[in-house]
Amino acid sequence: MFGNTESNLEVTGIDFLKSQNTQQHHTDGYNIKNLVVRRGQAFHVQVSLNRELRAADKLSLRFGIGENPVKDKGTLLSLKPEQEDFNGWKISVVKKNGKECLLSVTSSPNAVVGKYNLHVKTGANVYKPENGVIYLLFNPWCEDDVVYMANEAQRKEYVLNDTGYIYVGSAHSIYDRPWNYGQFEEFVLDACMYLLDKSKLSLTDRRDPANVSRAMSALVNANDDSGVLLGNWSGNYINGTSPMDWIGSVTILQKYYKTKKPVRYGQCWVFAGVLNTVMRCLGVPSRCVSTFDAAHDTEENLRVDVYLNERGEKLNSLSLDSVWNFHVWNDAWMKRTDLPEGFHGWQAIDSTPQEQSQGRFQCGPCPVKAVREGDVYLPYDSKFVYAEVNADRVYWLVKKVNGKDKYFKVGTETQAIGKKISTKAVGQNRREDITREYKYPEGSKEERMSMQRAYSFIRPSGMVPRSGYASTIQTLSGSIQPLVPKEPVTKTGLHLEITNTEPLHPGNPLEMAITVKTSTPGNWTVDLTGSCQLQYYTGKVQANLGTIKETVKLEGTSEMQIPMKIAPDAYMKTLSSLEDEVLILVTAIAEVKETNDKLTKETSMRFQYPPITVQMPETAKLYNDFSCAFIFKNKLNVTLENCKLLVEGLGIFKRTTFDQGDIMPGRIMKSEIICTPTKLGEKKIIAKLISNQIKGISTEKAITITE
């Protein structure tokens, strides 16, 4: 009779109280059967026993992480109720009710992030629950976690929002590309855990978001570690998916997790979209950041050389460095415990494979404040990020003199790089300009001081074309004199503006104008050379469309507009044959005969397209079907060939492709899809139309799903 009550204590079951825990931990969105919680915050488990728990009983919860968890390495945590904490973890009994025992577990706010196996030990018995793997993430809601973010609206945007926009185009015409991050979708968290294991970070290193974000910037590209995405800028995507065809990260990460092989193909916004998903999924607040006119490969000399021929056309062949119309990277939010005070907050990370850092294609985390202050000696890769947003652009005219190429400087722009740095606004569907977080206002005292600071760590060469003709400018002390950054003020007050005078619709003539202005007394004769080219966003020229040469006579403060018109035949064939979206590049060189003043200006513009409209109800009920229609009217004067409509709605339907064939001018395309919502709240549907002629028409529409 008594023997029975003295029986050994055994666990008969465990309830992870998933719905209550995940709501409190803001992890209820994850589509996974396991418990997902955040570090530094209590969660509850209900343990069922074969008899009541007594004071003398030995009960411990064991959390193990990694291949072979051991106590002395801190990878096996053995927690007993009411005991002193173990590596910052603690456990307590909330209440006992007969054979049921409710326990509260609080992990350390700097615990290792990853997958833990939970076993319950009672005396000599060990109970291994089904689905006993618990996922532990970073916690922006916990004040003691280094990723703590105080503002709730920001946490909603930068951690929990699974859709957003990535800004692309050119500084002259920015547009938003809707993107599904989908950090809560099936297999995405598992893919991130796989990447953590693949990163070869020690478990200790996995406590710190700086190490984790650096490792993820390396693993999102396939270079040197067969990571997630293979970059391809060649224009040939025959054995993969064209970078233009993605509308979100989910398909990419799911495919990668399934095959464990790099997915083909990515360009910068795809790398940034995927890295954003990975960081938000792991619990690190992050955002996609687009910089317009970003400098690449400047070899830390803070200068990009642009070479023009005598017709004013940009030459690809000579340039080692380049200005990309836009480049997208990410900012991740954290305290940098490895750096002096003052560099907490946003850190730039970049997974587009451009340059090796410490032997791998990785970039960051680089404190955004270090870029602004010119503290470019701080880890990681701050010189590289500084140059991307602060380089000067120098124009060289290449002329044949006695059969040899000679280089003539025809302009320097010191405020042309790193413009309109953009991200999606918090809680709103609009662009927020964050240039001020990266740079002081151009020409301000702070900017000058920051620049002098940066120049003390970076040694820019003097004004020499890369081909190495002239000698550097030496000062008395022998150090290299940084160029004083000023827009060239000419004797004539010469100024150039480039605009389009009609909408730039594919199939129509491209009608543009170059305006030449002078603003000082006198009679001026200005030789104007202008060219129009098609280029990729990386600055690589794809076609020369036409040039103009004019001599303009101006007096005092006056201006003249010179038209430039390109017939559709000059560009439509090229446009239809390219796999990527292209921009229209107009370059103008002006030389004043009387004073020999020279000025160069370039502007990139994007084609304008008719819209796609989405028709669907504003609200729908969970698990109740609704119909969604996509309508597109071809208002262009040209047939759109091989049209594909790509659509995706997180929590509504998976990425689907409709082949639409050719759409003639004036014709209307309509596609319909029946949707079954599986998640509550505001959901977005993204649609994108791709054809031989145009790559960039996309739209999105929101619907609220209710119970």
- Residue among 537, 348, 431, 350 at smallest CA distance from 164: 431
The reply to whether 447 sits in an annotated binding site is yes
Task: Please say if the pLDDT value at position 601 is more than 60.
Answer: yes
Lowest mean pLDDT among 149-158, 233-242, 458-467, 567-576: 458-467
Q: Cα angle at 354 between 414 and 376, to 5 degrees?
A: 50
Weakest mean pLDDT among 77-91, 360-374, 415-429, 690-704: 77-91
Highest mean pLDDT among 448-462, 470-484, 556-570: 556-570
pLDDT of residue 482: 37
Of 25, 296, 327, 505, which is the active-site residue?
Answer: 327
State both tokens at 89: 């973890």
pLDDT tops 70 at residue 2: no
Distance CA 646, CA 688 (A): 5
104 closest CA partner among 48, 34, 28, 41: 41
Mean pLDDT, to the nearest integer, of 272-296? 97
User: How many angstroms separate the CA atoms of 67 and 75, rounded?
Assistant: 9
Name the pLDDT band for 67 (thresholds 50, 70, 90). Answer: confident
Q: Point out the least confidently predicted range of 293-302, 344-353, 376-385, 663-672.
A: 293-302
Report pLDDT for 68: 85
Which residues, in sequence order, are CB contacts of 699 under 8 Å at separation 6+?
Answer: 178, 611, 612, 613, 614, 686, 687, 688
350 is catalytic: yes
Amino acid identity, position 221: N
Q: Write out pLDDT tens, residues 615-625.
A: 999 999 999 99
pLDDT at 427: 97
Query: pLDDT grade, residue 683 (50/70/90)?
Result: very high
Q: How far apart are CA 280 and CA 183, in angstroms?
A: 7
| pLDDT for residue 471 is more than 60 | no
pLDDT tens sequence across 629-657: 999 999 999 999 999 999 999 999 999 99
For residue 472, the model assigns a pLDDT of 29
8 Å CB contact between 566 and 616: no
How are beta strands 668-675 and 345-349 bridged, if at all?
Answer: unpaired
How far, in Å, CA of 326 to CA of 288, rounded? 12
pLDDT at 88 over 80: yes
For 485-495, what is the mean pLDDT? 67
Backbone dihedral angles phi then psi of residue 691, each to the nearest 5 degrees: -145, 180
Cα–Cα distance, 164 to 173 (Å, whole number): 19
- What confidence tens digit (pLDDT) does each residue in 512-534 have? 999 999 999 999 999 999 999 99
Least confident of 310-314, 440-444, 480-484, 614-618: 480-484
Tell me, what's the pLDDT at 463?
Answer: 46
Q: What is the pLDDT of residues 124-151, one digit of tens each?
A: 899 999 999 999 999 999 999 999 999 9
The yes-or-no answer on residue 28 being catalytic is: no
508 in a labelled binding site: no
Say what angle helices 209-219 and 268-282 make with each other, to 10 degrees.
140
Radius of gyration of the chain (CA): 30
Cα 180-184-185 angle, rounded to 5 deg: 75
Residue 10 clears pLDDT 90, i.e. is over it:
yes
Q: What percent of the chain has pLDDT over 90?
A: 81
Q: Which of 56-60, 171-175, 217-221, 463-467 comes out lowest in average pLDDT?
A: 463-467
Q: What's the mean per-residue pLDDT of the chain?
A: 92
What 652-660 contacts at long range (C-beta under 8 Å, 24+ apart), as own/partner pairs, is 652/676, 652/677, 652/678, 652/679, 652/683, 652/685, 652/703, 655/247, 655/248, 655/250, 655/251, 660/689
- Count of alpha carbons within 13 Å of 94, Cβ hemisphere only? 12
pLDDT of residue 551: 97
For residue 327, indicate whether it is catalytic.
yes
Q: Which of 268, 281, 288, 643 is catalytic?
A: 268
DSSP 454-471: HHHHS----S--TT--S-
Residues sharing a CB contact under 8 Å with residue 633, sequence separation 6 or more, in sequence order = 610, 666, 667, 668, 669
Report which residue type is found at 659.
Answer: D
Burial class (CB in 10 A: 0-12, 13-18, 19+), 642: middle
Active-site residue, selected from the candidate residues 350, 381, 580, 597: 350
Say what the pLDDT of residue 612 is. Answer: 97
Give the pLDDT score at 92: 93
